[in-house]
């Protein structure tokens, strides 16, 4: 049973989480030929290309957990009995993945893993091409949050993402007057590509958060599967929808962009435009982090910086040093985005891109996939 009010707003499309993998983060009305939310559109250089150079891939060589230090050759002069320490089993040094497995789409391998890998928490690789070691779960219910779509098992992340959400949820609730927030996809237990919905979200540093307040009751599992997020954008994609957009949404986005460690907050261009308008001539510094992107009309996507404990995490170039208002938004309202020509011209359906395989991923991701599961989450 859905409650009245916010939940009564029906959406035919749940861009927050249900976007088919082949058309990530694209407005339904317009299907520009982008392959990923990080791929830079021709004009605004807001995002960065996905393709890792061979050099970059090489630099992502697996660094297995350091072996236990060798016992000292000679006994120390003062003999103190060493404490008995039972070290947790380390992930295997060499991944036990067959060549056959390397050719399987990585989304199948990673989505089959129901638990995180053993090992120190680390984000590995790049947001759209990486994985997560030692992931931790965000509890599905908190004082000021509830996690949606539990069947997907995507409430996992690097501890920095869980920490971010535990701080952001009460801050957003306070700023908006909402009871709390609704959290969509984070990452799979071991990160990696997902079979549906995203191209990024692979390293445990990305999260989708819905543009609607948490209700006053604990949602049932069924509600969490069926309720859709609210679309804040008008049918022509040129402005916010006056019926759904509220000043609270502005504060929700502001508080997200102001949190430490946030790399980007992606929103629909119409939302960015409205925020620029509300601010008038002078824009606060945090607006640099609020970037326009396809879809994102019913949720924000928050991306965190690479954590200090993750040497194999590849950083995304910083956002341009500009508020991104005014003419910088023109591209997003051009025909190229809003009325893209169908491709290809011969009418044949576009060939879907070759799915990512393990061989395309940082070598450390094989170790993550082969590692024993971490219990007790
Ligand atoms: Zn997302």
Q: Looking at per-residue confidence, does 301 or 1 come out higher?
A: 301
pLDDT of residue 281: 92
Classify 310 as helix, strand or coil.
coil
Any idea which residue has 């170790």 for tokens?
367
pTM of the full structure: 0.76
pLDDT of residue 89: 53
User: Cα 57 vs. chain centroid, distance in angstroms?
Assistant: 21
Going from the Cα of 51 to the center of ligand 1, the distance in angstroms, rounded, reads 19
- Assess whether pLDDT exceeds 60 at residue 18: no
pLDDT of residue 352: 80
Going from the Cα of 301 to the center of ligand 1, the distance in angstroms, rounded, reads 5
Delineate the domains of the chain, giving CATH numbers in brackets: 13-18+95-339+350-370 (3.30.1380.10)
pLDDT of residue 29: 37
CA dihedral 310, 185, 162, 130 (to 10 degrees): -10
Going from the Cα of 198 to the center of ligand 1, the distance in angstroms, rounded, reads 6
Going from the Cα of 35 to the center of ligand 1, the distance in angstroms, rounded, reads 14
Contact 16, 24 (CB under 8 A): no
The least confident of 50-64, 114-128, 307-321 is 50-64
Going from the Cα of 200 to the center of ligand 1, the distance in angstroms, rounded, reads 7
Going from the Cα of 16 to the center of ligand 1, the distance in angstroms, rounded, reads 7
Mean pLDDT of 2-7: 40
Burial environment of residue 147 by CB neighbours within 10 A (0 to 12, 13 to 18, 19 or more)? buried
Alpha-carbon distance of 369 to 373, in angstroms, equals 9
**263: part of which helix (H) or strand (E)?**
strand 262-267
pLDDT in tens, 280-290: 999 999 999 99
Going from the Cα of 207 to the center of ligand 1, the distance in angstroms, rounded, reads 6
Going from the Cα of 78 to the center of ligand 1, the distance in angstroms, rounded, reads 57
Q: Looking at per-residue confidence, does 313 or 1 come out higher?
A: 313
pLDDT of residue 74: 33
- Assess whether pLDDT exceeds 90 at residue 222: yes
Going from the Cα of 199 to the center of ligand 1, the distance in angstroms, rounded, reads 8
Going from the Cα of 347 to the center of ligand 1, the distance in angstroms, rounded, reads 30
Alpha-carbon distance of 337 to 342, in angstroms, equals 12
The least confident of 109-113, 242-246, 347-351 is 347-351
Computed from CA positions of residues 272, 46, 133, 309, in that sequence, does the dihedral angle turn out positive or negative?
negative
Which pLDDT band, with edges at 50, 70 and 90, does 183 fall under? very high
Contact 175, 252 (CB under 8 A): yes
Alpha-carbon distance of 187 to 204, in angstroms, equals 5
pLDDT of residue 103: 80
Contact 298, 231 (CB under 8 A): yes
pLDDT of residue 49: 32
Alpha-carbon distance of 367 to 358, in angstroms, equals 11
pLDDT in tens, 251-289: 999 999 999 999 999 999 999 999 999 999 999 999 999
**106: part of which helix (H) or strand (E)?**
helix 106-111
pLDDT in tens, 316-365: 988 777 899 999 999 999 999 998 877 666 667 777 888 999 999 999 99
pLDDT of residue 153: 97
pLDDT of residue 343: 66
């Amino acid at each position: 049973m859905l409650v009245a009010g916010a939940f009564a707003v029906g959406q035919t499309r749940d861009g927050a989480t249900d976007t088919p993998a082949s058309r990530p983060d694209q407005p339904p009305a317009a299907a520009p030929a982008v392959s990923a939310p990080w791929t830079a559109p021709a004009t605004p250089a807001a995002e960065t290309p996905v393709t890792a150079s061979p050099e970059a891939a090489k630099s992502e060589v697996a660094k297995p957990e350091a072996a236990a230090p060798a016992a000292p050759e000679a006994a120390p002069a003062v003999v103190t009995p060493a404490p008995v320490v039972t070290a947790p089993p380390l992930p295997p040094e060499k991944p036990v993945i067959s060549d056959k497995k390397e050719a399987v789409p990585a989304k199948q391998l990673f989505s089959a893993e129901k638990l995180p890998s053993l090992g120190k928490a680390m984000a590995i690789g790049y947001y759209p091409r990486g994985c997560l070691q030692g992931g931790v779960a965000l509890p599905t219910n908190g004082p000021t949050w509830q996690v949606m779509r539990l069947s997907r098992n995507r409430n996992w992340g690097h501890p920095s993402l869980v920490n971010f959400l535990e701080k952001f949820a009460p801050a957003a609730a306070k700023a908006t007057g909402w009871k709390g927030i609704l959290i969509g996809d984070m990452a799979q237990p071991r990160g990696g590509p997902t079979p549906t919905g995203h191209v990024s979200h692979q390293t445990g540093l990305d999260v989708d958060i819905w543009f609607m307040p948490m209700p006053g009751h604990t949602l049932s599992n069924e509600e969490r599967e069926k309720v859709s997020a609210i679309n804040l954008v008008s049918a022509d994609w040129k402005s916010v929808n006056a019926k759904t957009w509220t000043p609270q949404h502005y504060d929700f986005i502001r508080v997200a962009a102001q949190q430490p460690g946030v790399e980007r907050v992606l929103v629909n261009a119409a939302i960015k435009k409205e925020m620029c308008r509300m601010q008038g001539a002078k824009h606060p510094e945090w607006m640099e982090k609020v970037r326009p992107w396809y879809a994102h009309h019913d949720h924000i996507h928050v991306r965190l910086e690479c954590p200090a404990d993750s040497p194999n995490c590849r950083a995304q170039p910083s956002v341009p040093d500009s508020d991104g208002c005014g003419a910088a938004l023109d591209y997003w309202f051009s025909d190229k985005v809003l009325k893209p020509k169908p491709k290809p011209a011969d009418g044949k359906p576009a060939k879907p891109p070759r799915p990512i395989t393990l061989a395309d991923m940082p070598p450390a991701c094989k170790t993550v996939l082969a590692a024993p599961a971490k219990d007790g989450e």
